[in-house]
Structure 1
Amino acid sequence: MATSSALIESRLQHLERHLEQENPVLLKAVQSFRELDAIAYRMGLLKRDDSYTSHIPWWPLIAVLGTFSSGKSTFINDYLGEKLQRSGNQAVDDKFTVICYNHERTNNALPGVALDSDPRFPFYQISGEIDKVELGEGDRIDAYLQLKACPSQQLRGKILIDSPGFDADAQRTSTLRITDHIIDLSDLVLVFFDARHPEPGAMRDTLEHLVSDTIRRSDSGKFLYILNQIDTTAREDNPEDVIAAWQRALGERGLTAGRFFTIYNEAASVPIEEEALRNRFRGKRDADLSEIHGRMQQVEIERAYRIIAALEKMARDIEEKAVPALTQALAQWRKRTLISDALVFGLLGAAAVSLGLKQDYLNNPPLWTQDPGLLYAAGLGLLLLLIGIHFGVRTLTAKSLNPQLRKANEGLEYRGDLVNAFAQCRRYWRSIFALNPAGWGRRTRKRLYRVIHQTDEYIQTLNDRFTNPSGDESPDQQMQKILNKNSDS
């Protein structure tokens, strides 16, 4: 246990060192996560070798999704200024590739286990999720993931994820599960479609998975839909019809949010001979690329807000979902235990009375009942038997509630183990008449409210850093002015 706690503390200290210069607001937020961890440990919602900080990526995350040969890799290479990803008209990579910055001049490629075992990355322990799809597949983590690092300055402070095409194949179910995991964690999701294949109806499954589900998301604004290689439609009589066909296909699947862009890579484009047409396509492409790149630069700011929002959500999940679920389970457990005790003890009592009448113990009591020592021992043995039966009933009725708790666990947006928390509620020294879950009380509620109040303060600090409605100079600007004045004098 001490080793697990030391490992978590080491991870948190490493995270704090990383944030110390990058974002002081998030550095303070780590302390609030520590407080939340302590509450969850006490209640049994987290095990000692776990931390809420391990369930959110602390680096801004941009996901690049789409079909095979839709230009994802070419777009990434162009953005990085590095030929990092292989590109081509056929499927050239069937793995999820996490791309991050390094200081070395050479590009490095690492196996999937480097991601599965590192809590700083978004695929920490993803092998367990893959195992849920097909037992044993988690051991083949290198077949699903790889980590690449390159010295492109565009990667400083953020992570890109390039996905395999959605037309994949034998690994499709696992691929979709990992994709859902990425979408949930990402700050920005770029969804690529190929304008060279203007048959959106033939891609029904892809559109369903990447588009239809977004209308139910609170963060649907982070999706950008990109029709790539639009230059191939330049020779059409009405290239706008191709764009309109895709927009209709997205609209038919309920798309109500997210931006739609049309771009192409000039180095790999089909030459457009007519100058006016070429300028029109180029102008639209440059405007859309500028907006896309602008959003990619903003993810560092958006990530800070999302981490604070996640902290608040985790805290509210404990009070609004975990505690009510455990309280309801306690009430059901108490009721089931008392009813079961009454039935078992009633049957035992009836059996004892029946046996006594049969043996006529009233008129012919056994000899051992006349010995006080034996009578005391028999009474003590009977008491211990009844206590043992009661605790056996407690255990069985508690286990009958585990399926209900596992289902309630799915309602927690961030990881929490309600089954383990309930196990703490039914420890042998706790009475079945206890109303509150283990570790939950007035003091714990105050600690939780303190964390929630701190999230408001963090948001206000971020607002002060990134906005200035009053037009006044920020503290940084004031300090710079003083330094400039001293320098001049």
Structure 2
Amino acid sequence: MSSSAPAATRTDSLEAHLKRENPLLLEPLAEFRRLDAIARRMGLLARHESFTRRVPWWPVISLLGTFSAGKSSFINSYVGKNLQRTGNQAVDDRFSVICYGEDAEPRTLPGSALDADLRFPFYRISGDIDDVAAGEGQRINNYLQLRTCQSEAVRGKILLDSPGFDADSQRSATLRITDRIIDLSDLVLVFFDARHPEPGAMRDTLEHLVAKTIHRDDASKFVFVLNQIDATAREDNPEDIVAAWQRALASSGLTAGRFLRIYDEASAAPIENEALAQRFKAKKDEDLAEIHRRMTGVEVDRAYRVVELMTSAADTLAGEAGVGHLQTLRTRWRNRTLAFDALIAVPLLAGVAAAFVWAPRATRELGATLLSGRPAGWLMLALIVTLLGAIHFGVRSLVATRIARSIAPASQQPFDLDIRRAFVANTRWWRSVFGAHPKGWTMLARRRVAKIRSKQETIIRRLNDRFTQPSG
């Protein structure tokens, strides 16, 4: 489906899928549609855009980290198939989106299959890539691929396998994609390689995946995985390795980091000491079970996150990032326009006053002509008014253009709000500089947004009724 198709068509398709797979999310979808309608009238969204673009409707589990950290091996073990290529070097420089497919044999589809499908977390990511690397959005297939797998482990969820941070030459675009998937993920597994216990060598990963984590409201969704821990069996020092990584996390500002220690038994070298082997295996089984438990739980977490995102979208629209930002820009536009008008009017009035002083007779004759009611007087008056009007509207247009150029693009705004588009819509020649509210932000719109924000508790209670039984 084309990315330029009307958003209503895409949300209709999404609704059909949710009816079959997760009817609980139909109510939040309806509220998103109402928000879309309000934002489009305000100019904050284009006709083909939707708040649902930033909402993954299927649970998302991301696997991030450095190359050779064992992400692909973990995925192959999890799905029970040899799906992802593995190796000690960077074997794939693209993000792989893995989901369930009916075909017995796995399929690999191009990145454009993700860029144009609202249901996936990379919908219209090509525009974001273009913002940081002009022209790269057209090469979306160089960044993404979609892989299908007939495995019950991925039914109803999406796995994201990332290229190694230190293996990618298209750095800016890769980090933009990584930021997107971190925002949308329900669970982020950050893999480190226990065979390379020098945290300093993983500076980029620690900076991007750890340092930024401490400022997030959803930092609990990050799980740090120390893979190939069996490599430490010869020295029997896994605790030392874990301590080294914990110190690295602390140096990046994250003091609560905890590592789960795992390895792949199928590819692990035998541990000759039987007692030591049992100790390593018991710890691995315990931590792996916790990872699997977290991965299973994302299906429930996703429903609650969609409701939270619904409220967040309403708050963003009505708050400082949306209406507040737009109002600030409109005020700046009005004040600058009036200031320039004053700069023009003051010299003009000063000129008229000077004319009365230095040429009183000519000034009186001009005034008599203007007030005489004769055609020449009306024509002269019309010319003066037209000139002043042209100056005023030229000034306000120039001021609006300069302000619009300073506004960050939609891809850098929360929920892709197009503040620039909305501001331009508010500065059309027929709109007064003294308007009280932005275009489309009517009393009815304000009431509807407030109603959407208040629905969170009602929808959460319905989810609780399905997943909990407080009465026992």
* TM-score range relative to shorter protein: over 0.9
What is the distance in 2 between the residues matched to 1:208 and 1:123? Answer: 23
Q: Which residue of 2 aligns with 1:415?
A: 416
What is the CA-CA distance between 1:25 and the residue it aligns to? 2.1
- Compared with structure 1, are the counterparts of its residues 243 and 366 closer, same or farther at alpha carbon in structure 2 (3 Å cutoff)? closer
8 Å CA contact 2:59, 2:158 repeated in 1? yes
The amino acid that maps onto 1:65 is L
- The aligned counterpart of 2:127 is 128
| Structure 1 position 342 matched with structure 2 position 342 | yes
The 5-angstrom pairing of residues 28-107 of structure 1 reads 28-107=27-106
The equivalent position to 1:376 in structure 2, one of 372, 375, 378, is 378
| Inter-CA distance 401–66: structure 2 relative to 1 (3 Å threshold) | same
Partner of 1:468: 469
Question: 1:207–1:250: 8 Å Cα contact kept in structure 2?
Answer: yes
State the match for 1:324 in structure 2: 324
Q: Which moved more, 1:174-183 or 1:188-197?
A: 174-183
CA displacement, residues 407-449 of structure 1 (integer Å, 9 cap, x when unaligned): 9x78853111122222222233322221211111322111111
Within the alignment, does 1:361 sit opposite 2:362 as a pair?
A: yes
Which sits farther off after the overlay, 333-342 or 27-36? 333-342
Matches within 5 A, 1:3-402: 7-257=6-256, 259-321=258-320, 322-351=322-351, 361-362=362-363, 372-402=374-404
Is the 1:330–1:435 contact (alpha carbons within 8 Å) kept by the matching residues of 2?
no
Q: Secondary structure at the match of 1:469?
A: coil
Greater alpha carbon shift after TM alignment, 429-438 vs 296-305: 429-438
Give me the identity figure in percent. 53
Tell me, yes or no, if the aligned pair for 2:54 and 2:184 is still in contact at 8 Å.
Answer: no
Partner letter of residue 131 of structure 1? D
The answer (yes or no) to whether the contact 2:333–2:400 under 8 Å persists in 1 is: yes
Contact 1:220 1:257 (8 Å CA) reproduced: no
What SS class does the counterpart of residue 108 from structure 2 fall into? strand
Give the secondary-structure state (helix, strand or coil) at the position aligned to 1:268.
Answer: coil
Q: Higher mean Cα deviation, 263-272 or 205-214?
A: 205-214
RMSD: 2.4
Amino acid at match of 2:394: G
Q: Secondary structure at the match of 1:431?
A: coil
Which residue identity does 1:420 align to in structure 2? R
Deviation at 1:360, TM superposition (A): 5.5
- Residue pair 1:223, 1:259 contacting (<8 A) in 2 also: no
Change in Cα spacing, 1:187 to 1:402, as seen in structure 2 (3 Å) is same
Give the drift of 1:106: 1.5
Q: 1:372 to 1:123 in 2, by over 3 A?
A: same
SS in 1 for 2:362: coil
SS in 2 for 1:379: helix
What letter is aligned with 1:181? R
Change (3 A) 1:363 1:421: closer
Matched residue, 1:426:
427
Query: Are 1:221 and 1:258, in contact at CA under 8 Å, matched by a contact in 2?
Result: no
Measured after TM superposition, the shift of residue 292 of structure 1 is 0.4
Q: How many Å apart are 1:371 and its aligned residue?
A: 7.7
Deviations along 1:371-397, one digit per CA (max 9) or x if unpaired, are 811211221222222222221122122
Which consecutive residues of structure 2, in runs of 5 or more, have no partner in the other structure? none
Q: Distance in 2 between matches of 1:360 and 1:17?
A: 81
| SS, match of residue 361 in structure 1 | helix
User: Are residues 412 and 178 of structure 1, via their aligned partners in 2, closer, same or farther at CA, if it must alter by over 3 Å?
Assistant: closer
Instruction: Report the Cα offset of residue 116 of structure 1.
Output: 1.8
* Distance change (3 Å), C-alpha of 1:363 and 1:243: closer
CA distance in 2, matches of 1:211, 1:362: 75
CA positional deviation for 1:289 = 0.8
Letter in 2 for 1:460: R
- Distance in 2 of aligned mates of 1:390 and 1:464: 61
State the secondary structure of the residue aligned to 1:382.
Answer: helix
Instruction: Name the SS for the 1:211 alignment partner.
Output: helix
Following the alignment from structure 1 to structure 2, what is the Cα–Cα distance between the partners of residues 334 and 228?
58
CA distance in 2, matches of 1:362, 1:18: 77
User: CA, structure 1 residues 259+465, in 2 after alignment: closer, same or farther (shift >3 Å)?
Assistant: farther
Q: Which amino acid aligns with 2:386?
A: L
Please state how far the C-alpha of 1:84 moved relative to its aligned partner.
0.6
Unpaired runs of 5+ residues, structure 1, are 472-489
- Following superposition, the deviation at residue 363 of structure 1 comes to 7.1
Partner amino acid, structure 1, of 2:453 = I
Secondary structure of the structure 2 residue equivalent to 1:161 = strand
Counterpart amino acid of residue 97 in structure 1: S
CA distance in 2, matches of 1:209, 1:363: 74
Offset of residue 37 of structure 1 = 0.8
For 1:82, give the aligned amino acid: K
User: Structure 1 residues 239 and 339 mapped into 2: Cα distance closer, same or farther (>3 Å)?
Assistant: closer
Distance 1:402 1:7, change over 3 A: closer
Distance 1:94 1:411 in 2: 25
1:310 Cα deviation from its structure 2 partner: 0.8
Task: Name the CA shift for 1:362/1:469 in 2 (closer, same or farther; >3 Å).
Answer: closer
Is 1:451 aligned to 2:457, yes or no? no
Corresponding letter in the other structure for 1:416: L
Cα shift at 1:404: 5.7
> In the superposition, relative to structure 1, how do residues 66 and 383 fare at CA in structure 2: closer, same or farther (>3 Å)?
same
Q: Displacement of 1:233 after TM fit?
A: 0.8
| TM-score, normalised via structure 2 length | 0.93
- Cα pair distance change 1:142/1:6, threshold 3 Å: closer
- Number of residue-to-residue matches in the alignment: 468
Answer whether contact 1:331 1:435 (CA < 8 A) is retained.
no
CA–CA separation in structure 2 for the residues paired with 1:132 and 1:80: 35
Distance 1:257 1:41, change over 3 A: farther
How many Å separate the matches in 2 of 1:258 and 1:226? Answer: 10
SS at match of 2:34: helix
CA contact (8 A) 1:222 1:258 kept: no
| 2:76 match: secondary structure | helix
Contact 1:108 1:150 in 2 (8 A): yes
Q: For residues 144-181 of structure 1, give each alpha carbon's deviation from its aligned partner in whole angstroms, at most 9, with x where no partner exists.
A: 11111111111111111111111124222322221111
* Aligned amino acid, residue 385 of structure 1: L
